[in-house]
């Protein structure tokens, strides 16, 4: 009886498809918010009857102003919670796949048993904890998984407590819910004075004088006391989407370095998608 001859296997990794696993959540969250989020400057609805379907009527017609205002607030809270869930869920799927690929690439140019299987972190439902494992393995400096923990906590509050902060969700000295994310801020600066572009009209403090544009990355933080409702503005929600995109691209860059260190070739196939 002769020893079995090892068979060489080739695995193609589509980097664009991998990134899109996480970015699907970013795009869905941003798209859903753009379609449905009601801004404070929009007029209150006077009816919630669906066009072409009015067999049952559950709410008065026309809607009283106080009821309409309450419905808008509750709808926005429901929408925000679901948008955060989209971000969290697809990011979780993304890091699951990154973990599997790291196991596969660790076997590059090695002889492995026929029953070789990759390890899994998909059984863990906490995206922040899974990101910690991936970041440690890829050597991502200052990964700051605490930001993801805080966002997950806010999502849980919206999903399980109707957006009202309870002691269970108060992660800041058991008195407040603190939500933290990385954001970009563009400022129009004149001396010691500045205005933040995006929150105010693009006009320098003194229009008659020259001004310079500065951009910086900083931690954005919101706190909500126990009993307070979690409310986010459209600008803050878009910043959260951008934050997840930044983390995804940070992981992708570190994964590319991991592939390079393993001697895994990187090339472009005919359709323009990068292979590893």
Residue 204: per-residue pLDDT: 72
Range of the domain at 69: 15-49+56-165+230-262
Dist. CA 38–CA 34, nearest whole Å: 9
Domain-located, residue 86: yes
Residue 68: per-residue pLDDT: 94
Domain-located, residue 207: no
Residue 186: per-residue pLDDT: 84
What total of structural domains would you count in the chain? 1
Residue 138: per-residue pLDDT: 96
Domain-located, residue 35: yes
Residue 114: per-residue pLDDT: 64
The residues of the chain scoring below 70 in pLDDT are 1-4, 6-9, 53-54, 108-116, 198-201, 268-276
Domain-located, residue 179: no
Residue 241: per-residue pLDDT: 97
Domain-located, residue 203: no
Domain-located, residue 85: yes
HSE of 159 in the Cβ direction (CA atoms, 13 Å)? 13
Domain-located, residue 191: no
Domain-located, residue 7: no
Residue 271: per-residue pLDDT: 56
Residue 201: per-residue pLDDT: 62
Residue 190: per-residue pLDDT: 86
């Amino acid at each position: 009886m002769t020893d079995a001859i090892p068979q060489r296997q080739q695995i193609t990794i589509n980097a664009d498809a991998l990134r899109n696993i996480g970015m699907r959540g970013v795009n869905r969250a941003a798209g859903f918010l753009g379609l449905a989020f009601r801004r404070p400057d929009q007029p209150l609805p006077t009816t919630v009857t669906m066009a072409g379907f009015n067999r049952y009527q559950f709410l008065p017609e026309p809607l009283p102003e106080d009821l309409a205002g309450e419905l808008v607030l509750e709808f926005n809270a429901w929408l925000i919670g679901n948008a955060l869930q989209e971000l969290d869920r697809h990011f979780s799927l993304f890091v699951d796949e990154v973990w599997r690929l790291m196991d596969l690439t660790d076997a590059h140019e090695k002889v492995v048993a026929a029953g070789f299987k990759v390890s899994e972190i998909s059984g863990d439902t906490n995206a922040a904890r899974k990101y910690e494992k991936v970041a440690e393995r890829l050597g991502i400096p200052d990964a700051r998984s605490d930001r993801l923990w805080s966002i997950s906590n806010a999502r849980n509050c919206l999903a399980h407590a109707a957006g009202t902060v309870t002691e269970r969700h108060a992660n800041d000295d058991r008195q407040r819910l603190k939500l933290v994310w990385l954001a970009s801020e563009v400022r129009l600066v004149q001396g010691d004075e500045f205005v933040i572009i995006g929150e105010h009209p693009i006009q320098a403090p003194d229009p008659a004088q020259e001004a310079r544009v500065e951009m910086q990355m900083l931690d954005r933080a919101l706190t909500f006391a126990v009993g307070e409702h979690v409310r986010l503005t459209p600008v803050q929600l878009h910043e959260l989407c951008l934050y997840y995109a930044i983390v995804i691209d940070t992981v992708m860059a570190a994964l590319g370095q991991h592939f390079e260190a393993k001697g895994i070739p990187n090339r472009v196939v005919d359709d323009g998608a990068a292979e590893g």
